C-alpha cells in the first residue's frame, strides 16, 4: 500500500498528521482557495457496499470527501482509488462515547461539513433469537446511529445549515420474524430521523434530513433465500446521490420498492403475521 499508517490511541490515520488533510504541501494558493469553496461530505460506513460507492460518486462530483469506518485497511484502499486528498479515519459507531469524540474531531479536521451520510450498520438472520446477535444489532443500529446523528445535527444547528442522510431500510416498515432486532432498529432509525426533521423545521433552519429506505442491495448484508429486485451497490448509490441533490425527505431505493412499501403497509396484521 502506498501510504504508511500508524495507530494512535485506537485511531489509525496517515502517518504525517497535517498530510491527512492537506497532502499537497507545495500546492499553489488557488488550490487551497478552491478546496475551501467545495462542499464537504463525510460518509460513515464507507469501507464497503453503498457507503463505498457513494463516497466515490461524491468525490467525482467535486465534494471534499471524508471517509470513516471500522476497517481502516479497506478505507485506505478506497482512499488510494480516489485521491490522496481524501481524509480517512477509523470509527466504530458501537463504541458510542469514543465515536462521538472521533467524529467531532474529524469534522474539525475537515473545517466543517455540509453533508453527513450514515451508512454504518449491521444485521443478521436470527430465527434462533441469539441475544449476542440481537444486542450487536441494537447497539450499532440504534445507539450508535443516534449518537452519530446527534453529533451531526448539533453541528448543523450551530452552523445554521447542513444535510444529514441516514440509510435505514424498507425493513423499517414492519417487524420481521427472521431478524426482529434488525427490522426494529431500522424502524428506530426512520423515526429518529423524522424527529430530527421536525426539530429543524421548527427551528426554521435550512437543514435537510433524508431517510433512505433501500430494498435489497447486492452487499454482504443481503442474506436469505427470498431476495429479489436486488440492485447493484453502485446503482443504489447513484439513486441515493440523486435523492441528496434533490434534498428529499425520504426515498425508496430503487423506486420500484415504493410499490412494495405501499403493499406492506396495507396488509392487515392478521395477514402479515402469517407470512
CA-nearest of 75, 61, 76, 72 to 245 is 61
The catalytic residue among 63, 182, 192, 252 is: 182
Cα dihedral 4/5/6/8 (nearest 10): 150
Query: Parallel, antiparallel, or unpaired: how do β-strands 250-253 and 207-214 relate?
Result: parallel
Mean pLDDT of 46-75: 96
CA separation for the pair 265, 251 (Å, rounded): 16
Name the percent of the chain lying above pLDDT 70.
81
Least confident span in 35-39, 167-171, 192-196: 35-39
Mean pLDDT of 218-244: 72
CA separation for the pair 115, 162 (Å, rounded): 6
The total of other beta-carbon atoms located within 10 Å of residue 252's CB is 20
Are 17 and 108 within 8 A, CB to CB?
no
pLDDT band per the 50, 70, 90 thresholds, residue 6: very low
Name the percent of the chain lying above pLDDT 90.
64
> Is residue 65 scored above 90 in pLDDT?
yes
The residues, any chain, with a CB within 8 Å of residue 62's CB and separated by 6 or more, are: 38, 39
Are 50 and 214 within 8 A, CB to CB?
yes
CA separation for the pair 152, 229 (Å, rounded): 32
436469505: which residue's cell?
Answer: 224
> Is residue 216 scored above 60 in pLDDT?
yes
476497517: which residue's cell?
Answer: 71
Domains and CATH numbers, the chain: 5-272 (3.40.50.720)
Interior angle at CA 84, CA 9 and CA 209, nearest 5? 75
Residue 36 confidence (pLDDT): 59
CA separation for the pair 138, 184 (Å, rounded): 9
CA separation for the pair 157, 215 (Å, rounded): 31
Between 125 and 130, the higher pLDDT residue: 130
CA separation for the pair 136, 30 (Å, rounded): 47
pLDDT band per the 50, 70, 90 thresholds, residue 217: low
Q: Tell me if residue 192 is catalytic.
A: no
> Is residue 173 scored above 70 in pLDDT?
yes
Interior angle at CA 130, CA 221 and CA 91, nearest 5? 50
pLDDT band per the 50, 70, 90 thresholds, residue 1: very low
Cα dihedral 133/136/140/142 (nearest 10): 80
The cell numbers describing 157, all together, are 444547528
pTM value > 0.85: no
> Is residue 14 scored above 60 in pLDDT?
no
Between 6 and 80, the higher pLDDT residue: 80
Amino acid at each position: 500500500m502506498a501510504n504508511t499508517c500508524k495507530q494512535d490511541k485506537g485511531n489509525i490515520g496517515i502517518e504525517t498528521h497535517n498530510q491527512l488533510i492537506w497532502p499537497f504541501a507545495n500546492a499553489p494558493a488557488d488550490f487551497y482557495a478552491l478546496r475551501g469553496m467545495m462542499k464537504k461530505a463525510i460518509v460513515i460506513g464507507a469501507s464497503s457496499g453503498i457507503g463505498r460507492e457513494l463516497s466515490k460518486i461524491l468525490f467525482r462530483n467535486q465534494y471534499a470527501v471524508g471517509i470513516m469506518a471500522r476497517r481502516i485497511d479497506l478505507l485506505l484502499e478506497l482512499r488510494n482509488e480516489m485521491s490522496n486528498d481524501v481524509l480517512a479515519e477509523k470509527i466504530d459507531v458501537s463504541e458510542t462515547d469514543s465515536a462521538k469524540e472521533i467524529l467531532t474531531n474529524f469534522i474539525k479536521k475537515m473545517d466543517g461539513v455540509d453533508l453527513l451520510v450514515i451508512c454504518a450498520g449491521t444485521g443478521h438472520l436470527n430465527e434462533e433469537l441469539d441475544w449476542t446477535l440481537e444486542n450487536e444489532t441494537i447497539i450499532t443500529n440504534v445507539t450508535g446511529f443516534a449518537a452519530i446523528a446527534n453529533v451531526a445535527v448539533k453541528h448543523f444547528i450551530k452552523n445554521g445549515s447542513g444535510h444529514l442522510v441516514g440509510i435505514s431500510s424498507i425493513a423499517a416498515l414492519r417487524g420481521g420474524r427472521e431478524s426482529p432486532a434488525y427490522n426494529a432498529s431500522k424502524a428506530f432509525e426512520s423515526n429518529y430521523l423524522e424527529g430530527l426533521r421536525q426539530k429543524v423545521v421548527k427551528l426554521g433552519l435550512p437543514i435537510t434530513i433524508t431517510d433512505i429506505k433501500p430494498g435489497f442491495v447486492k452487499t454482504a448484508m443481503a442474506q436469505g433465500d427470498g431476495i429479489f429486485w436486488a440492485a447493484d451497490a453502485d446503482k443504489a448509490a447513484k439513486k441515493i446521490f440523486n435523492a441528496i441533490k434533490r434534498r428529499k425527505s425520504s426515498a425508496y431505493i430503487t423506486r420500484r420498492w415504493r410499490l412494495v412499501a405501499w403493499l406492506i403497509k396495507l396488509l392487515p396484521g392478521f395477514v402479515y403475521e402469517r407470512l
